[in-house]
Chain A
């Protein structure tokens, strides 16, 4: 069954009798798979609850469709529903058993009219920017040389696929094409699914190219939704967008890792580095060859230069050494000459000194001889003089002899110890004393001492 086709319910021919509940379940089972898009104007009564909202969708004929939606579906619009707003709702019908009313379960809401869409765009842009979705620091870098490309676009659109592939150079690219709707209510879920598919199944792919041809503001609605921004932001694979014309700026462009203005531009971006490399590689080849040749030429020239320079330098060195040797010989000669001169003068001086010493010795010798002669001459005189002196001394000795004194009549008195008495004061009365005479001696006792 294809969407947008009219719903055909086969007539039920059964004898079964339903309870009310069973019958409503039976109806809901038929109704729920029928996803449809309904366009209308939002009615005046809007019941907002924290998690869900009830509203009415009206048309010019006064028909009313009761709608139910979860709050996040409205939040993703970036703005609240207002009475009189022209919208499209995507969802399915369901009969509520507790009230017996038909409620349209809204899964997605799309705004209609360029004015309101632009307003929605500005609000969402501001809101998502505040949440850092467009922050350049979160953008993934596109590999310099992309080889594996995931292409997300429509196979039947206004030529975006053709434009991209035609302008993509033949650089052995591997293109994995994922066909999606790029317009209408199914565009958004399909594109989000495609991004997820590549991330899950081709995580090593170099880049994803999300592209579509130009169109009016309403046709680009899928690329201006918060869900699309979040899907692009979450992709691990970098994404290049090439949406619409150059002037069309979508929220997808703002969040993309790189924005190309058109599908052709996206192809050119991917070609650019390959084209450059195709030229540069030959330049490198030429440069390297000429560089290495220049190096060799330089080295050859240096070798020749060194060769010549070396010969001249060696000659110079030899000359210098020879001069040095000559100088050395000269200085050695002069040195020896000096030594010879010094030696000669020393020899002369030595000779002079030797003669002086010789004369000195000679003089000393003659003086000694003279002294000796004098000594010999005066020998007898000294002998006589000495003999006389001796005789005189002998006489003196004889005269002072105690024996002579005794002979002359003197006596010598001594105490009992034989000590000569010269002073009687140290003697005592009755002490015995010995008196020697020339001939004999007497022992006497002291009677009186006179001092």
Chain B
């Protein structure tokens, strides 16, 4: 099965959710470990995505120009 395309927004939201969960009072160790692993996996993916890279620029070719 091909890996689903990385969605930064969803990943970042999930990280925020995990962070919120960690602020809670009740904490199960197994769950904490699972959340930690998942959080770190997402953080690494987001870090890769955030590495500075040049923007891509494309100009739309128009058809309707009035010039002939």
Q: Chain A: residues with CB nearer than 8 A to chain B?
A: 1-3, 143-145, 147, 165, 168, 170-179, 186, 193, 197, 274, 277-278, 281-282, 284-285, 287-288, 291-292, 295, 299
Q: Please, which residues of chain B bring their CB within 8 A of the CB of A178? A: 59-60, 62
Q: Please, which residues of chain A bring their CB within 8 A of the CB of B49? A: 172
Q: Are A295 and B27 in contact (CB under 8 A)?
A: yes
Decide: A292 near B32, CB < 8 A? Known: A171-B55, A281-B50. yes
The residue from A174, A176, A177, A278 contacting B50, defined by CB atoms under 8 A apart: A278
Q: Are B46 and A174 in contact (CB under 8 A)?
A: no
Q: Are B43 and A284 in contact (CB under 8 A)?
A: yes
Q: Give the distance in Å from the alpha carbon of A193 to the alpha carbon of B64 in the complex.
A: 9
Given A3-B66, A170-B53, A281-B50, output 19 extra A-B contacts at Cβ < 8 Å: A145-B9, A165-B55, A170-B54, A171-B50, A171-B52, A171-B55, A172-B54, A172-B55, A173-B55, A173-B56, A179-B59, A281-B15, A287-B22, A288-B18, A288-B22, A288-B39, A291-B22, A292-B32, A292-B36
Q: How far is the CB of B4 from chain A (nearest CB, A)?
A: 16
Q: Are A176 and B9 in contact (CB under 8 A)?
A: no
Q: Which residue of A lies closest to B46 (CB)?
A: A281
Q: Which residue of A lies closest to B36 (CB)?
A: A292
Q: Give the distance in Å from the alpha carbon of A285 to the alpha carbon of B44 in the complex.
A: 9
B3 at the interface (CB under 8 A from A): no
30 A-B contacts, Cβ less than 8 Å apart? Answer: A1-B67, A3-B66, A143-B9, A144-B12, A165-B55, A165-B57, A172-B53, A172-B55, A173-B56, A174-B58, A175-B58, A176-B58, A177-B58, A179-B59, A277-B46, A281-B12, A281-B43, A281-B46, A281-B47, A281-B50, A282-B47, A284-B43, A287-B22, A288-B18, A288-B36, A288-B39, A288-B40, A288-B43, A291-B22, A299-B29
Q: Are A147 and B8 in contact (CB under 8 A)?
A: yes
Q: Chain B: residues with CB nearer than 8 A to chain A?
A: 8-9, 12, 15, 18-19, 22, 27, 29, 32-33, 36, 39-40, 43, 46-47, 49-50, 52-60, 62, 64, 66-68
| Secondary structure dominating the interface of A | mixed
Q: Which residue of B lies closest to A3 (CB)?
A: B66
Q: How far is the CB of B51 from chain A (nearest CB, A)?
A: 9
The residue from A174, A197, A287 contacting B55, defined by CB atoms under 8 A apart: A174
Q: Please, which residues of chain B bring their CB within 8 A of the CB of A287? A: 19, 22
Decide: A145 near B8, CB < 8 A? Known: A170-B53, A171-B55, A178-B62. yes
Q: Are A197 and B60 in contact (CB under 8 A)?
A: yes
Q: Are B55 and A175 in contact (CB under 8 A)?
A: yes
Q: Please, which residues of chain A bring their CB within 8 A of the CB of B39? A: 284, 288
Q: Are B62 and A295 in contact (CB under 8 A)?
A: no
The residue from A1, A278, A284 contacting B19, defined by CB atoms under 8 A apart: A284
Q: Are A144 and B9 in contact (CB under 8 A)?
A: yes
Q: Are B8 and A285 in contact (CB under 8 A)?
A: no
Q: Are A277 and B52 in contact (CB under 8 A)?
A: no
Q: Give the distance in Å from the alpha carbon of A141 to the alpha carbon of B28 in the complex.
A: 37
Q: Please, which residues of chain B bring their CB within 8 A of the CB of A299? A: 29
Q: Which residue of A lies closest to B18 (CB)?
A: A288
Q: Please, which residues of chain B bring their CB within 8 A of the CB of A281? A: 12, 15, 43, 46-47, 50
Q: Give the distance in Å from the alpha carbon of A145 to the alpha carbon of B49 in the complex.
A: 12
Q: How far is the CB of B53 from chain A (nearest CB, A)?
A: 5
Q: Are A285 and B53 in contact (CB under 8 A)?
A: no
Q: Please, which residues of chain B bring their CB within 8 A of the CB of A193? A: 64
Decide: A175 near B22, CB < 8 A? Known: A143-B9, A288-B36. no
Q: Give the distance in Å from the alpha carbon of A193 to the alpha carbon of B32 in the complex.
A: 53
Q: Which residue of B lies closest to A1 (CB)?
A: B68
Q: How far is the CB of B30 from chain A (nearest CB, A)?
A: 11
Q: Please, which residues of chain B bring their CB within 8 A of the CB of A176? A: 58, 60
